[in-house]
Amino acid sequence: MIYRALLRPLLFACSAETAHVVTMTALRALARIPFATSPMRSRYLPRDPALAVEAFGLKFPHPVGLAAGLDKNAEAIEAFSAFGFGFIEVGTLTAEAQPGNPRPRLFRLTRDRAIINRMGFNNHGADAAAARIRRLRRRDAILGINIGKTKLVENDAALDDYAKSAAAIAPLADYVTINVSSPNTPGLRDLQTVSALRPLLVRVREVLDRASPARRIPLLLKIAPDLSDEDIDAIADLALELRLEGIIATNTTITRNQLSIGAEEIAQYGAGGLSGPPVKQRSLAVLRRLRTRVGDRVTLIAAGGIETVDDAWERIRAGATLLQIYTAIVYEGPLLARRLALGLAEQTRRAGLKSVTEAIGIEAR
């Protein structure tokens, strides 16, 4: 494969953040080439009827999408769509533009195929992203927009901050995700308590309904893998109470338990969220617990350590309707979504099923 044989060695010769900048620059350039992205999507998007999934009123061509964090500023939607993703989530966006944390803040742990990041929601702001999305020549993929809290805003003013972001992007989003689970903004994870979450979700829901009275914009919540089981249950119950459309399980972890490197090397990387295979088992456990609690009444989206067809199939069987990838793209390239989707179609037929939807949550039945 060209990516693994040629492009990955070149990118891995650079620092992780430099490689990210180079990649995003290339993707933006691709999107500017006339008539380039549409033929690519026609070629790379799996259109097998067995893969089609419906969730919160939206029809997805297949379940594998791009997680938030890679396209923070909604700069490469057309390019990512061209590589055949089933859906794309951009952000995390904040109400105000902010530079994020000081560099270095992004690290590859190649032995574990993992990443540590403490980016800190570096982005141009929700208004700038909204303007960029409006200028798109075409938008083929379902678009989710992930919003978080501006760093300088205290938690007691978080509702207004999230509301401002939601108002800016609501008319452009197929769905909106509330991010209260990044470990890289001080105090953000405190908003995962039910007492803080309830008013936040209610406020954003009100903003979305005012912005789109004719269409209910699905509202999702992204949670951390580091929550206690009791907190996961409480969030699941709140999601049912507020008729939340979906939960993304999970964000990055602050634990380092699953790494193969020693404590001294771990300490060199410092703080930040760990993603990739080391978070896989905990993310899967959170998904299973959520499925037990909410059944099929809330759409569950699995993220965290998904890099093989077996990983993807396991999450579907555990209760995920949709899947998101990020870290694995760094190691396997942008066509990974296509490969996973085609693998899911094969697994579906091997199991004697007509559609991948028949496998959702089958493990818990």
By annotation, the residues acting in catalysis are 182
Tokens of 332: 């396997």
DSSP 192-247: GSHHHHHHHHHHHHHHHHHH-TTSPPPEEEEE-TTS-HHHHHHHHHHHHHTT--EE
Do the Cβ atoms of 236 and 197 come closer than 8 Å?
no
SS3 of residue 70 by DSSP: coil
For 323, list phi and psi in degrees, rounded to 5: -130, 150
Inter-residue contact 49 to 56 (CB < 8 Å): no
Question: Which H or E run includes 91?
Answer: strand 87-93
* 157: Cβ contacts below 8 Å, ≥ 6 apart: none
Task: Kindly state the tokens that stand for 120.
Answer: 């800190």
Strand, coil or helix: what is 123? strand
Residue 303: CA count within 13 A, CB half-sphere: 28
The residue behind tokens 């993707």 is 27
Give the C-alpha separation, 114 to 331, whole Å.
9
Paired residues of 278 in beta bridges:
none
Q: What is the CA radius of gyration of the chain?
A: 19
The residue ranges of DSSP E strands in the chain, in sequence order, are 53-55, 58-60, 64-66, 87-93, 106-109, 114-117, 142-147, 175-179, 219-223, 246-249, 273-275, 299-303, 322-325
